[in-house]
Structure 1
Amino acid sequence: MSEPEPASGILRLGVLGCADFAWRKMLPAIATVPELRITALASRDSAKAARFADRFGGEPVTGYEALLEREDVDAVYVVLPTGLHHRWALRALDAGKHVLAEKSLTTGADEAAELVAAARDHGLWLMENFLFLHHSQHPAVRERIDAGAIGAPRVFSAAFGVPPRPAGDIRNSPELGGGALLDVGAYTVRAATYFLGPDLTLAGSQLRIDGRTGVDVGGSALFHTPAGVSAELSFGFDSSYRTTYALWGSEGRISVDRAFTPPADLLPSVRWERQDSVQDLVLPADDQYANGARAFAHRVLTGAPFDAYGESLVHQAALLEQIRDRAHHVTV
């Protein structure tokens, strides 16, 4: 199917799923992007679809297939549980719709490769919604590292942990692609490739498995680059809230707190430590939610090249799969 024509430089967006994250964060951000207009919101629950439409505009739709059949939808935002991403993203691509999907894109590398191939075949964009990549604090950190602020990098470390999920939370369901690795752990992996590049080799991993639900509630992984730089990653649904990364080098260390989910009004603080000094650098506030939505619209509307980005989606899924498949399991 040929690529749909966006209406007058505006990308008409349909939403598959009415998740709490969409209500609190993503849809309010989308509403601030002039290039995006929500035309339809789909849920299996008609009352929930109507409630979302009352707030964000667009027409409420009962059922996901019905939304994909609409001619007033150029692209879809897939905010369903991870285990449903592959099915509905593939249906959307086959229906000629561009796709913005929440992370993790899929539960495995083969599924990611199939989606990327479908996007290429149809001439469509498929984007994984890692919003932290669209916050200005991370390029600022990378610029300082490239300028020699910490000397030669030796170790990258990242952690993302949140308190335990409620009993009925979809992230506690193995059938829906639940677990900490594909949720918060995915951020730490993506941050490692952002700073160290894609050529990472897994040295080992460990997952803590909930004996009642069967999902992983936490874990860790150790990667290394060909040059011997280590990446130490930790993640969990069973810990106090923490979202941070650091780069330790031959001459200093840079660390960032509130790294992955900073509010739009937060002034990020970056700590730069050297042998005889510690400096806290305050950076401008930035809205990664609106920036991410704008980036998706821009890539679609300008026809940005997809091939290299598509390869990165498959690579991310492959690294997560390696952590899962080679992990030492501890039942808790």
Structure 2
Amino acid sequence: MPAPTLRTAVVGLLQGLENVYSTLHHPRYTLSALCDVSRRPWEWLTGERKIEDEGPEAAIFPHHIQWVKRSAAHPDFAAVEFTSDYDALLTREDIDAVILVLPDVLHREYAVKALEAGKFVLSTKPMAATVEDAFEIAAAARKHTNHFMLGFQLTYSPFTTTVLDIIASGEIGAPRVVRFDYHRGPWRPVHRRKYDEVDGAMRKEGGHWLDLFYRLSGQLPWRAISGFGALDKPENDFEFEDNGILAIDYDGFRAAHSFTYFRDPLGEKEDFLLVGEKGLIRGDLERFTVDTDAGAREVVVPSKALPELYHTGYYEMHDEFAAMALDGREPYTSWQTGLENTLTSYAAQIAVAEGRTVQRGELADIDWRQRFSDTKA
């Protein structure tokens, strides 16, 4: 008998096109349906409309075109159905899981509905647009064990897993300090409008790097977060920081992060440094040096599992989601990790926007470890 596959629907079809491409080419998935309020992305896939002819307002990049071409050419795509009715989708017994690639403000509604319908849920980051929405998702996820996973693909990337393996080997000793700097072009329109008053660079994208720090620390709760930030290159519809610096204090571990959104650099966008008690790791997401008393060695990070993937770790993230649903394995990016990231991003955004230090105790009313004190965390 063939091994069972995860019968999946992708909900949200712009960035969700990468999930369509990934699941069609992953042996543990059967892509059953696509769901969106607009038929336009579906018509790109069927050939009724040419994605190459879309105007600049559609925010189409070369990787979107490749995802469409590769997905449409896959032999299993002919069996995929389209619907705009999400509620009806959740009643289907031939769909086990939904992958939600939606605007932040829709995460709570769509995730909770799916969990209550008994579906497995993989939701793009952040967990939710507001802290209270995140708590509602967590409450639903607690009732349905191992049914919710948050899509922080960087934490499942070959880069992160390679670094974690080095830490586990003891080669660099206990990690003490990490620094991660990130520099890229201006924010896309969809990512530069506030959803609430505590919103901005740290909540829109910084959650990826904050999760990286959390995992490398050994999943320690942070104690204090300091930051500075500014909007130094304003545009007509730009509402939050395009550059900033952040520092985070954990118990025996420190993290630092700087970011700019001025222009796309010609070379590497990232600069990574992890210092342990016996050595350090220095480089970027594709190549780094491990430096210890035994000497220095270079590590080349394995390439993406699928050639047209844009985000590192996307295929491996889908591996983890399938393992959660089909094997019952608890994922690292569970609702607990999601809530810790929500709290960290919330505090980091305040620190950057207000140029101050935020103590964890200031946020006792939204500290999930107190609200869910009955959990193992």
SS at match of 2:323: helix
The answer on 1:285 being equivalent to 2:303 is: yes
- Residues paired across the two proteins, number: 310
Report how far residue 231 of structure 1 moved.
0.3
Matched ranges for 1:223-242 at <5 A: 223-227=248-252, 229-241=253-265, 242=269
Q: Check 1:132–1:253 CA distance in 2 against 1; reply closer, same or farther (3 A cut).
A: same
CA distance in 2, matches of 1:276, 1:302: 40
**Stretches of structure 2 lacking an aligned partner (at least 5 in a row):** 48-71, 306-312, 356-377
TM-score normalized by the length of structure 2: 0.72
Q: Name the aligned partner's letter for residue 225 of structure 1.
A: Y
Q: Check 1:206–1:100 CA distance in 2 against 1; reply closer, same or farther (3 A cut).
A: same
The answer on 1:191 being equivalent to 2:219 is: no
8 Å contact kept, 1:189–1:319: yes
Report how far residue 250 of structure 1 moved.
4.4
Structure 1 window deviating more from structure 2 (292-301 vs 59-68): it is: 59-68
Partner of residue 156, structure 1 = 178
CA distance in 2, matches of 1:322, 1:270: 30
Q: Name the aligned partner's letter for residue 155 of structure 2.
A: L
SS at match of 2:325: helix
Report how far residue 88 of structure 1 moved.
1.4
Q: Name the aligned partner's letter for residue 34 of structure 1.
A: P
Structure 1 window deviating more from structure 2 (296-305 vs 215-224): it is: 215-224
Q: Check 1:153–1:134 CA distance in 2 against 1; reply closer, same or farther (3 A cut).
A: closer
Query: Which structure has greater strand proportion?
Result: 1
Report how far residue 126 of structure 1 moved.
0.8
Could you give the per-residue CA deviations for residues 52-94 of structure 1, whole angstroms, max 9, x where no partner exists?
4672451111243343343332211111122221221122222
8 Å contact kept, 2:203–2:346: no
Matched ranges for 1:50-89 at <5 A: 50-52=43-45, 55=72, 56-57=77-78, 58-89=80-111
Q: Name the aligned partner's letter for residue 315 of structure 2.
A: A
Could you give the per-residue CA deviations for residues 190-239 of structure 1, whole angstroms, max 9, x where no partner exists?
11011112222223123334574323434332111222x21002234334
Partner of residue 193, structure 2 = 173
1:22 to 16, 27, 33: 16
8 Å contact kept, 2:201–2:349: no
Could you give the per-residue CA deviations for residues 126-157 of structure 1, whole angstroms, max 9, x where no partner exists?
11111122233323323333444334533211
**Stretches of structure 1 lacking an aligned partner (at least 5 in a row):** 1-6, 260-267
Partner of residue 265, structure 1 = none
Report how far residue 311 of structure 1 moved.
1.6
Q: Check 1:66–1:152 CA distance in 2 against 1; reply closer, same or farther (3 A cut).
A: closer
Runs of 4+, deviation exceeding 6 Å:
none
Matched ranges for 1:1-332 at <5 A: 9-19=4-14, 21-23=15-17, 25-52=18-45, 55=72, 56-57=77-78, 58-123=80-145, 125-166=147-188, 169-175=189-195, 179-197=200-218, 198-209=220-231, 212-227=237-252, 229-241=253-265, 242-257=269-284, 259=285, 268-274=286-292, 278-287=296-305, 288-305=313-330, 309-329=334-354
SS at match of 1:327: helix
Report how far residue 31 of structure 1 moved.
1.3
SS at match of 1:297: helix
CA distance in 2, matches of 1:231, 1:307: 20
Q: Check 1:246–1:307 CA distance in 2 against 1; reply closer, same or farther (3 A cut).
A: closer
Report how far residue 294 of structure 1 moved.
2.0
SS at match of 2:206: helix
CA distance in 1, matches of 2:127, 2:26: 23
8 Å contact kept, 1:218–1:235: yes
CA distance in 2, matches of 1:102, 1:134: 14
CA RMSD in angstroms comes to 3.0
CA distance in 1, matches of 2:178, 2:141: 33
Q: Check 1:304–1:272 CA distance in 2 against 1; reply closer, same or farther (3 A cut).
A: closer
Q: Check 1:73–1:147 CA distance in 2 against 1; reply closer, same or farther (3 A cut).
A: closer
CA distance in 2, matches of 1:291, 1:53: 27
TM-score normalized by the length of structure 1: 0.81
Report how far residue 188 of structure 1 moved.
1.0
Q: Check 1:110–1:236 CA distance in 2 against 1; reply closer, same or farther (3 A cut).
A: farther
Report how far residue 96 of structure 1 moved.
2.3
CA distance in 2, matches of 1:40, 1:108: 29
Report how far residue 326 of structure 1 moved.
3.6
CA distance in 2, matches of 1:172, 1:77: 24
CA distance in 2, matches of 1:165, 1:139: 28
